[in-house]
Structure 1
Amino acid sequence: MSTPKVAFYTLGCKLNFSETSTIARNFEDEGYQRVAFESDPDVVVINTCSVTENADKRFKTIVKQAQKSNPDTFIIGIGCYAQLKPEELAEVNGVDLVLGATEKFKVTDYISDLTKNDFGEVHSCEIDEADFYVGSYSIGDRTRAFLKVQDGCDYKCTYCTIPLARGISRSDKLENVLKNAREISEQGIKEIVLTGVNIGDYGKGEFGNKKHEHTFLDLVKALDQVEGIDRVRISSIEPNLLKDETIDFVANSKCFVPHFHIPLQSGSNTLLKKMRRRYLRELYVDRVDRIKNQMPDACIGVDVIVGFPGETDELFLETFNFLNELDISYLHVFTFSERDNTPAAEMEEVVPVKVRKKRSKMLRGLSAKKRRAFYESQLNSTHEVLFEGENKSGYIHGFTENYVKVKSFWNPELVNTKHQVLLNEIDDDGIVKVDFIQEMIAAE
């Protein structure tokens, strides 16, 4: 029998990408050959997201795409949507197997053969059973890896299904995180992005209990000492869990870069309370000020939700003006969508979808303005860029340590290498052109 071919399609967050990569390595260990999604695979594994309604709909589109290239492809759904609504996924035409939060890490155990099923077969645990931890990391490209350090969440934000999809907050053992980081380093990857559901909560749930054996600061300090890793980014951290000590350490770190992504969700204290967030806007201002005082060139990204129930025009403008005045670099804008089994789905004062979309467009415009201003503030300064591996219309792209996206003419020798550059000008596509410092010195 020929070697079965497996392909993967990942929706959603960096955490999903890290888990897909680990699951893919498990398939390879079982004798499967990993191929591209478009390469007529025998098996397709779709790692789903359920943060928004759009992510749910995309699952059906991807199933159709998989069937178009090969009607006999054995299709498996895993991930958050698969845990929340397994029966709904199983009813999608062409889906053969649906696995929940604990089952997804042993997918091959559920495959007896690759014969198509008449109906999707479901193996899904109660989410209370998702109380153990599986470490993961992605090595999909040669430049950076997503390293999972934590899973689940104990917060009860009124709009969020993640605790229902991933269970309680729990963490990897520190020694295992460091082992994974060293494995990443041995592959020649120069940048690690820390990922999880609520990584600032790191340490909770180690060894199967709720005791904090290590803190997030312990983790950061230990990773800073791993040989061969040039950069570590903190992907996203709650403002109430981003402590002074962590900011101060990053400011003087060997590896950690001056780039923070801090969810805000609303600039209105009224709405933050309705969302059951664990801070008010005053704390957010304090975190931004602390970062900028220590690292004036730091990049700060912000998550924000528009159209939450009760968001009047006045409260939306409160958020808009708050963000406009804040020294931040870009926004990730999420349009509120009602998720089943969340308190927000039952709230009154529903914002019309048309209004949600209009507000989303306004904030996306503000994000573009903020990013442009941040990039302009960095022009004519020198930075270290790590170049990536793709030829995009004759250019190679990369990122500075503080997350300015740059480009230079394609040169394969630059792939996965770091260079000192001068940020020259912002091109029409919003990406910064650079001059190489070494070449300028040589010319002199």
Structure 2
Amino acid sequence: MIDQTVFENKTAAYYTLGCKLNFAETSAIGKQLLQAGVLRARKGQKADICVINTCSVTELADKKGRQAIRKMIQNHPDAFVVVTGCYAQLKPDEVASIEGVDLVLGSEQKLDVIRYMDDLKKREKGEVITSKTHRIRTFVPSCSADDRTRYFLKVQDGCDYFCSFCTIPYARGRSRNGSIADLVRQAEDVVLQGGKEIVLTGVNIGDFGHSTGETFFDLIKALDEVEGIERFRISSIEPNLLTDEIIDFVAGSKRFAPHFHTPLQAGSDAVLKLMKRKYDTALFRHKIEKIKSVMPHAFIGVDVIVGLRGETDDYFDEGREFIESLNFSQLHVFTYSERSGTQALAIEHVVDPKVKHQRSKLLHDISDMKLRGFYESQRGTIRKVLFEHTRHGDKMYGFTENYVKLCADYDPVLVNRITEVKIGEYNEEEMAMNAVFVE
């Protein structure tokens, strides 16, 4: 049994890499330590405990994880250092070998961190506590607030898809979720904290329901009834799980924003097969056209990977032409990174790094053009903006319900308030549209 007194009057510093799900989980870890008496270290203060929550989506993410761990150890030389997250789950011994690391926790252990911390005494070698990924079945809820007034509610974890390029199922386990009743209660807690906007997060949120016999559609219908939340946003959802029923519901809902984010990954059917994705380009086009038919003003973000093994020049050109033909708002372009243990390593034809860079640049240029075009299409319309806490000089920023970034002169009265504005001209310096206040 853990002696809770060891945590009294202690301070902790946190560092999170990767996705919004990681940030939500770090917040849950922080709440657990706070309940035990551990306060968050102030800026510049030497912490007694360091928690680093890592990512491992690419080789660069692993590198950033190692750098973050070493920097935390350097800044807090006497702290008890805990490393968790996807990098810790996938390569625990590598993480434990970093000098100064005391405890490495896997995906199933990280949200019960106090159980494994004992007396907080520094260890000669990092202790590894992980579970085999296929045995991970627990779902631990978490919800975090960022510094921009949005809350991130974890509704689902894990993935059963095993795409050829991806390590996430090995890092986070099988698909599982919380119950709708529990998630509604968490959303109601956000209302009590003064939150106005919640983003639903997870690894494969459209797959919601494995643990509880419910569906993602059931979830969003229930959340739409939560009084006090102005907006819900759906984070990345697989196109084959983004049903027409969901799209139609969002179009007529009270609180769900006309904002979608869905991964295409490749605009070539041949490459999609290499990736072992569960849809083709025809289905993806239908989803984009369906959204725009019922919500012409909707923002649509699309993920794309360049440089997968097997992506020939012809396949890339085919994919680029398909992408250009779609009516989306912005691309999120990722360069393929080889990950040990993935099926993609068996694919022949390795894409040269310089070619990957060129392809990435082409797609970023398409994204810039699409985003500017979408912003310009919204000029002159009346929208509701939620202004954020963050201040840059004399400017403040916020997003409309359809995710147009707006800027205005800073006014503290407007922070965390839904305000009706007219979208003005594009501000080149701020890379946002000007907000024109409606009398």
Structure 2 CA distance for aligned equivalents of residues 321 and 43 of structure 1: 51
For residues 371-419 of structure 1, what are the alpha-carbon distances to aligned partners after superposition, in whole Å with 9 as ceiling and x for unaligned?
1111111111111000000111221110000001111011111110111
1:268 maps onto 2:274 in alignment = no
**Alpha-carbon spacing, 1:251–1:68, altered in 2? closer, same or farther (3 Å):** same
Match of 2:209 among 178, 203, 212: 203
Structure 1 CA distance for aligned equivalents of residues 27 and 377 of structure 2: 37
Partner SS, residue 143 of structure 2: coil
Alignment of 1:22-421 (within 5 A): 22-35=28-41, 38-141=44-147, 143-206=149-212, 213-421=213-421
Partner SS, residue 205 of structure 1: coil
Contact 2:149 2:196 in 1 (8 A): yes
Structure 2 CA distance for aligned equivalents of residues 36 and 322 of structure 1: 50
Cα deviation for residue 36 of structure 1 reads 5.0
Partner SS, residue 138 of structure 1: strand
Cα deviation for residue 118 of structure 1 reads 1.8
Partner SS, residue 257 of structure 2: strand
TM-score using structure 1 length: 0.95
For residue 209 of structure 1, what is the aligned residue in structure 2? none
Structure 1 CA distance for aligned equivalents of residues 13 and 282 of structure 2: 46
Cα deviation for residue 106 of structure 1 reads 1.1
What's the % identity of the aligned pairs?
50
Contact 2:148 2:390 in 1 (8 A): no
Could you tell me which amino acid in structure 2 is paired with residue 431 of structure 1? A
Bigger Cα displacement from structure 2, 121-130 vs 1-10: 1-10
Could you tell me which amino acid in structure 2 is paired with residue 378 of structure 1? Q
Could you tell me which amino acid in structure 1 is paired with residue 324 of structure 2? N
User: Structure 2: any 5+ residue segments left out of the alignment?
Assistant: 1-5
Partner SS, residue 241 of structure 1: coil
Bigger Cα displacement from structure 2, 101-110 vs 290-299: 101-110
Contact 2:147 2:390 in 1 (8 A): no
Could you tell me which amino acid in structure 2 is paired with residue 255 of structure 1? R
Structure 2 CA distance for aligned equivalents of residues 242 and 142 of structure 1: 27
RMSD between superposed Cα atoms in Å: 1.3
**Alpha-carbon spacing, 1:244–1:37, altered in 2? closer, same or farther (3 Å):** farther
For residue 210 of structure 1, what is the aligned residue in structure 2? none
Structure 2 CA distance for aligned equivalents of residues 266 and 36 of structure 1: 44
For residue 11 of structure 2, what is the aligned residue in structure 1? 5
Partner SS, residue 332 of structure 2: strand
Could you tell me which amino acid in structure 2 is paired with residue 363 of structure 1? L
Contact 1:8 1:36 in 2 (8 A): no
Could you tell me which amino acid in structure 2 is paired with residue 144 of structure 1? R
Partner SS, residue 355 of structure 1: helix
Bigger Cα displacement from structure 2, 68-77 vs 188-197: 68-77
Could you tell me which amino acid in structure 1 is paired with residue 269 of structure 2? N
For residues 106-145 of structure 1, what are the alpha-carbon distances to aligned partners after superposition, in whole Å with 9 as ceiling and x for unaligned?
1111112333222111111111221121111112447211
Cα deviation for residue 35 of structure 1 reads 2.7
Structure 1 CA distance for aligned equivalents of residues 243 and 55 of structure 2: 29
Could you tell me which amino acid in structure 1 is paired with residue 56 of structure 2? S
Partner SS, residue 257 of structure 1: coil
1:435 maps onto 2:436 in alignment = yes
Could you tell me which amino acid in structure 2 is paired with residue 103 of structure 1? Q
Contact 2:197 2:231 in 1 (8 A): yes
Could you tell me which amino acid in structure 2 is paired with residue 40 of structure 1? K
For residue 3 of structure 2, what is the aligned residue in structure 1? none
Could you tell me which amino acid in structure 2 is paired with residue 27 of structure 1? L
Cα deviation for residue 205 of structure 1 reads 2.2
Contact 1:384 1:418 in 2 (8 A): yes
Structure 1 CA distance for aligned equivalents of residues 106 and 239 of structure 2: 30
User: Structure 1: any 5+ residue segments left out of the alignment?
Assistant: 207-212
For residues 210-231 of structure 1, what are the alpha-carbon distances to aligned partners after superposition, in whole Å with 9 as ceiling and x for unaligned?
xxx2111110100000011000
Partner SS, residue 189 of structure 1: coil
TM-score using structure 2 length: 0.96
Cα deviation for residue 69 of structure 1 reads 2.2
For residues 90-116 of structure 1, what are the alpha-carbon distances to aligned partners after superposition, in whole Å with 9 as ceiling and x for unaligned?
111221110011111111111123332
Moved over 4 A (4+): none
